[in-house]
Structure 1
Amino acid sequence: MDPFYRTENIEIFRKWVYFQVMNDPRLTLEEYDSRTYKIYYQKRVARFVIWPIGIVEEAVTEGEELLFYLHYQFYNFCFATDLFHRMIQKLTEVHEEKKSILLCCSGGMTTGYFAEKMNKYCQLNKLPYTIQAAPAYHLQDVYQKFDLILVAPQLRYKAAELMQQLQPVTVKCIEPTTFATYDCQALLDQIEDFYKNEEKV
């Protein structure tokens, strides 16, 4: 791109960004210096900088945590506006509160391993679940911290009794094949079915 046209396009882009933010009632804009905008949304801050050499820098932080970072050479308006929209999506994305699920078996060993696998699976897939494990004899001390308790197949005979004792927390049984194979997707399907039904009530 011709340097003159690039300079003109960068200036148009800077003004476009300014009006995009000013026209979004969710956002607050601060002109930090001649090349930097700070854009605020709830507890997050986006930093948008156009350096004199035509490099655009975009970052989103929440406290000390860096959530998004890009820097790129400005080539054309279309490319730059697309990347700006991606930064704003990250800035304004909704936080889902994590839901707490407890896996329970006789001694807590097998469910402890399954819970560890499930947490890794949830992290990789960015799912809003925290999975813990506990032995059956410890349930009375911890059950109130959870939305859902899933008991291992060997405790199926106690499920009805636990449902009564641990109200209002829901108690369900894990399918034997799911439990025996540590099938994270099958267990996730069971968890998500529970929460979908909860939303309908």
Structure 2
Amino acid sequence: MDPFYRIENIEIFKKWVYYQVLNDSRLTLEEYDSRTYKIFYKDKVARFVVWPIGIVEEAVTQGEELLFYLHYQFYNFHFATDLFYRMVEKLTEENEEKKSILLCCTGGMTTGYFAEKMNKYCQLNKIPYDIKATAAYHLNQIYKDYDLILIAPQLRYKVVTLSQELKPTVVECIDPTTFATYDCDALLGQIENFYKNKETL
């Protein structure tokens, strides 16, 4: 593209972005400086920058976390608008509320390690579960904060009693092999089956 026309097209693109954001009632626009727009949606912020050399930079953050980042050379309007829409999609994407699951064993140490592994697994796979662990003697004080309590195999004999005591929270036992091998995939399957069954009730 001829440098003159590229500069003209970039200016048109910047104006187009400005009016796109202005006409979207969900978004708030702030002109940060001559080359930068900040676009706000709830607790997320997008930064849209057009550098003099024709590089466009797009980023979306939520607090300290970077959710989206792109930088590209402006070549044509169609390509640039498509990438802008992708940024806006990420900016306005609703965070799914995390579901709370509690793992429980006699002293809380083994399930504490499993919970740590599960949280890393969920984070990597963008699964909205928050897994915590506790010792059996602490259950009565905290069970109301959880949808599901999964107890270690060595406490299997307590499932019926705990199910009665901790209503309406559901109590299930973790499969011995799943527990012994810290199988995150298998435990996730058990958790997902619980939520599927809950939805069908």
TM over 0.5: yes
**Unaligned runs of at least 5 residues, structure 1:** none
When residues 66 and 114 of structure 1 are mapped into structure 2, their CA distance, relative to the original with a 3 A threshold, is closer
Corresponding residue pairs, total = 201
When residues 122 and 73 of structure 1 are mapped into structure 2, their CA distance, relative to the original with a 3 A threshold, is same
Give the corresponding residue for 2:152. 152
Which is further off, 154-163 or 138-147?
Answer: 138-147
SS in 1 for 2:131: strand
Find the aligned partners of 1:74 and 1:185 in 2 and give their Cα distance.
43
Find the aligned partners of 2:62 and 2:150 in 1 and give their Cα distance.
34
| Deviation, structure 1 residue 13 | 1.6
Give TM-score scaled by structure 1 length: 0.89
When residues 152 and 65 of structure 1 are mapped into structure 2, their CA distance, relative to the original with a 3 A threshold, is closer
Give the corresponding residue for 1:120. 120
Give the corresponding residue for 2:94. 94
Q: Cα deviation per residue 1:90-109 (whole Å; 9 max; x = unaligned)? A: 21111122222111122323
Give the corresponding residue for 2:46. 46
RMSD: 2.0
When residues 82 and 189 of structure 1 are mapped into structure 2, their CA distance, relative to the original with a 3 A threshold, is same
Identity within the alignment, %: 77
SS in 2 for 1:171: strand
Find the aligned partners of 1:194 and 1:25 in 2 and give their Cα distance.
38
| Deviation, structure 1 residue 189 | 1.2
Give TM-score scaled by structure 2 length: 0.89
Find the aligned partners of 1:195 and 1:185 in 2 and give their Cα distance.
15
Give the corresponding residue for 2:4. 4
Q: Aligned partner of 1:169: which letter?
A: T
| Deviation, structure 1 residue 64 | 4.4
SS in 1 for 2:12: helix
Find the aligned partners of 1:175 and 1:64 in 2 and give their Cα distance.
38
Give the corresponding residue for 2:140. 140
Give the corresponding residue for 1:169. 169
| Deviation, structure 1 residue 18 | 2.5
**Unaligned runs of at least 5 residues, structure 2:** none
